Structure 1
Amino acid sequence: MNRRIPVGRACAATLMVAGLALAGAPAAVADGSGEFDEKEFLTMTVDHHFGGVRVAELCVDKATRADLKGLCGKIEREQSEQVGTMRSWLRTWYGTDETPSVPPETRPMLEELSGLSGRTFDVALSRHFAQHHREFLPDADKCRKHAKHAELRALCDRMYETQAEEIGKFEAVIAGKPITVNTGQGGLAAASAKDDSAGTAGWLAAGGVAAALGTAVLGRRMRRQ
């Protein structure tokens, strides 16, 4: 004799099975990451980085702060290298290439910055670059989680972490605060043009103290003789 299962219990059991199935499903199914297109990301990022390199070159040429110049020089070198790497992956993995070009949204930025100078340039450049990075972070985050190739996931993870950190540095420049930049090969860029006089005064003061101490020591030696 078949026992009838109450409808409520049957629905609960069905929902439980469905929940267990979803829990065990790959993350790509659960969060829609199957939509990530690796080739499209590479193509887009080549141009995005190329635009960033052009802005960084302008910054190195026009920025008044040594630390900002150092940050832009670092971005210029790193993103130029990454453009070459991603183009090589496009050729190897997909049999295609992307000739770098400045994205349409970056061109007005370059035109605006070309007409600015002094601290006005430094602040406008920093605002634009911070926004440039913020717009890229969601794509980099999706890439580092869902790209098919491990080397691309590693690159996207590095780009995400680096650009998130650089946003903070650009915000510091906007606020008029100094930053420290590792320019590579052990070099650091920390001094700003605004603070050069203060730094020079500090060195002169330190030199004056050293000179005074040296004179005192010499005087004591002469008295002993």
Structure 2
Amino acid sequence: MKSLTAIACAATLALAQTPSVANGPGQGLTARFEVEFMQMTIDHHFSALRMTELAAGTGLQRAQEISAAEGTSPTPGFAASPAKATLNDLKSMARRNNRMQREEIMTLQRFLREWYGIDYQPRLREDARAAIAILERARPGADFNHPFYETFSRHHYALMEPVNGCMTGSDLMHYELRRECRSMWHSQIADIDMMRHELKKHFGIADYQPFKGLDPLRGNNGGPRGQHSGHD
């Protein structure tokens, strides 16, 4: 039987032989998957920046005080926006997501540069424009709070299948990417759960689901807002 010292030495040697950072592209099928996944996620997060700044408003300068009135950083390409949300929990979640997804965009851009030599800049895709348009048209207050919870839940959920693919099909050496994907999965599922509770609390919607609806005869058939049995 090996001694504890021998086992510890073997473990240390194994760690020393494991590369600390993967600095090359994925092998075979994983390369194309990773590039397309990271570019899509950057674009997806970029649209979330606009959605969250419509909720919490924008501020060009951070105040020193921690305050519920604090805004987000303006999204490149958009004018400054006043806060449309009137629920503090909603604005808090919007600020948190805005900061977090800015960091995730930068992380994925770094992976693309270091592993694939790609300098990728985010863009708005057509499906994201539809969700943003709903929020831009909504009036401040309850008329905004309600569609924000639905569109942002649907927006979060749309990333779950690609993130599952990242966690199970990315390159074996790119553990940093899988770690980033696990973080996205947990944080966005938690947000969806919170928003479903808020829809019940504030709007009496007890059966909201962030799925894309299929039946046009239903009162809410999904699209950018998910679905429930009630009427908007």
- AA matched with 1:93: W
Deviation (angstroms), 1:42:
0.6
Task: Please tell me whether the aligned partners of residues 30 and 170 of structure 2 are also in contact (alpha carbons under 8 angstroms).
Answer: no
Which runs of 5 or more structure 1 residues have no equivalent in the other structure? 1-32, 178-225
- AA matched with 1:122: N
- AA matched with 1:86: L
Partner residue of 1:129 out of 139, 152, 161: 152
- AA matched with 1:40: E
Alpha-carbon distance between aligned partners in 1 of 2:120 and 2:148, rounded to the nearest angstrom: 27
Structure with the larger helix share:
1
The residue that corresponds to 1:59 in the other structure is: 55
Partner residue of 1:44 out of 27, 40, 44: 40
- AA matched with 1:124: P
- AA matched with 1:88: R
Q: How many residues align?
A: 146
Deviation (angstroms), 1:53:
1.1
Alpha-carbon distance between aligned partners in 2 of 1:55 and 1:162, rounded to the nearest angstrom: 17
1:182-219 superposed Cα distances (whole Å, 9 cap, x missing partner): xxxxxxxxxxxxxxxxxxxxxxxxxxxxxxxxxxxxxx
Alpha-carbon distance between aligned partners in 2 of 1:121 and 1:36, rounded to the nearest angstrom: 39
Decide which structure has the larger Cα Rg and report it. Answer: 1
Percent identical:
31
The residue that corresponds to 1:79 in the other structure is: 101
Alpha-carbon distance between aligned partners in 2 of 1:75 and 1:43, rounded to the nearest angstrom: 19
Alpha-carbon distance between aligned partners in 1 of 2:32 and 2:150, rounded to the nearest angstrom: 29
1:65-93 superposed Cα distances (whole Å, 9 cap, x missing partner): 00100001000000011001111110110
Alpha-carbon distance between aligned partners in 2 of 1:55 and 1:120, rounded to the nearest angstrom: 15
Deviation (angstroms), 1:176:
2.4
In the TM superposition, 1:1-225 aligns within 5 A as: 37-60=33-56, 61-116=83-138, 117-148=140-171, 149-176=174-201
Task: Please tell me whether the aligned partners of residues 36 and 146 of structure 1 are also in contact (alpha carbons under 8 angstroms).
Answer: no
Alpha-carbon distance between aligned partners in 1 of 2:186 and 2:96, rounded to the nearest angstrom: 15
TM-score w.r.t. the length of structure 1 is: 0.61
Alpha-carbon distance between aligned partners in 2 of 1:43 and 1:112, rounded to the nearest angstrom: 24
Which runs of 5 or more structure 2 residues have no equivalent in the other structure? 1-28, 57-82, 203-232
TM-score w.r.t. the length of structure 2 is: 0.60
Alpha-carbon distance between aligned partners in 2 of 1:161 and 1:112, rounded to the nearest angstrom: 26
- AA matched with 2:102: S
Deviation (angstroms), 1:35:
9.3
- AA matched with 2:46: F
Alpha-carbon distance between aligned partners in 2 of 1:144 and 1:36, rounded to the nearest angstrom: 15
1:12-45 superposed Cα distances (whole Å, 9 cap, x missing partner): xxxxxxxxxxxxxxxxxxxxx9697111111111
Alpha-carbon distance between aligned partners in 2 of 1:69 and 1:154, rounded to the nearest angstrom: 27
User: RCO greater where, 1 or 2, for CA within 8 Å and sep 6 or more?
Assistant: 1
Alpha-carbon distance between aligned partners in 2 of 1:87 and 1:79, rounded to the nearest angstrom: 12
Alpha-carbon distance between aligned partners in 2 of 1:87 and 1:58, rounded to the nearest angstrom: 24
Going from structure 1 to structure 2, the CA distance change for 1:153 and 1:48 (only over 3 Å counts) comes to: same
SS at match of 1:62: coil
Alpha-carbon distance between aligned partners in 2 of 1:109 and 1:34, rounded to the nearest angstrom: 31
SS at match of 1:131: helix
Alpha-carbon distance between aligned partners in 2 of 1:68 and 1:154, rounded to the nearest angstrom: 27
Structure 1 residue runs of 4+, over 3 Å off? Answer: 33-36
